[in-house]
Amino acid sequence: MRNAILCTFAIGGIISAIALSCQPNVSIQTAQYAVNGQKLYQSHCQNCHGAKGEGLGALYPPLTDTTYQRENRRQLACIVKYGLDEPVEIHGKTYDGTMPGVPQLSNIEIAYILTYVTTTFGASTNSFTQEEVQADLKSCN
C-alpha cells in the first residue's frame, strides 16, 4: 500500500515536471504580446534588423545586446516611435547611421514590439505595458 502511494506520487511528480517544463518562462500576457509584436516587427523593423534581430554588417545594429536593453529600457519606446539620430554602442561596436522612427504606431503596438524584441532576441521575461510606453514617451528627447 505504501509503495502504491509512493508510486502515485512519483508518477504525479514526473507528469507535473513534464507539464511545467513545457511552460515557457514567461507569462501568458508576455507570450501574447510577443506574438502580436512579431507581426509588427516583420512589417516595420525586420528589413533592417533582420528576422533574427541580427542586424546587417555595420549598417544596422543587432537587437541582441541584453545589457543595452536593460540599461536603456526606458528609452526604447522613444527610439521605436521617433527614431535615433545619434551614435549608439551595441556589443561594443558603434553604429552611427540614422534610424527612422515609426510615428504612426500606437502605445499598445510599441508595447507589443518591445516585448517581442526584448524577450525573443534579448533575455527579458517581462512584457512592456501600454501604460509603461505612455509614461516613457513623455520623456523623449
Partner 1 sequence: MISNKTTYLFFLMLAALLSACTEKNSKKLPIIGEREAVEKLVDGKTVVDTVYHQIPNFTFLNQDSTLITDKDFESKVYVANFFFTHCPSICPTMQRNLLKVYEKYKGNEKVAFLSHSIDFKYDSPSVLKSYATKLGVDNAQWQFVTGSKKDIYGIAEKYLVYTKEDAAAPGGYDHQGYLVLIDQQKRIRGAYDGTNDEQVAQLFTDLEILLRESL
Return residues touching partner 1 (CB under 8 A): 46-48, 50, 56-60, 97-98, 100
CB of 127 to partner 1, least distance (A): 27
Grid cell for residue 31: 507570450
CB of 48 to partner 1, least distance (A): 5
Region at 123 (left for phi over 0; alpha for psi -120 to 50; beta for the rest) = alpha
Q: Which is nearer to partner 1, 30 or 64 (CB)?
A: 64
Q: Which is nearer to partner 1, 33 or 81 (CB)?
A: 81
Q: Which is nearer to partner 1, 35 or 56 (CB)?
A: 56
Q: Which is nearer to partner 1, 40 or 119 (CB)?
A: 40
Q: Which is nearer to partner 1, 60 or 121 (CB)?
A: 60
Burial 1-26 (b: 16+ CB within 10 A, else e): eeeeeeeeeeeeeeeeeeeeeeeeeb
CB of 70 to partner 1, least distance (A): 26
Grid cell for residue 46: 525586420
The span from the CA of 40 to the CA of 134, in Å, is: 18
For residue 71, the Cα-to-chain-centroid distance in whole angstroms is 14
CB of 136 to partner 1, least distance (A): 24
CB of 100 to partner 1, least distance (A): 6
The span from the CA of 20 to the CA of 82, in Å, is: 40
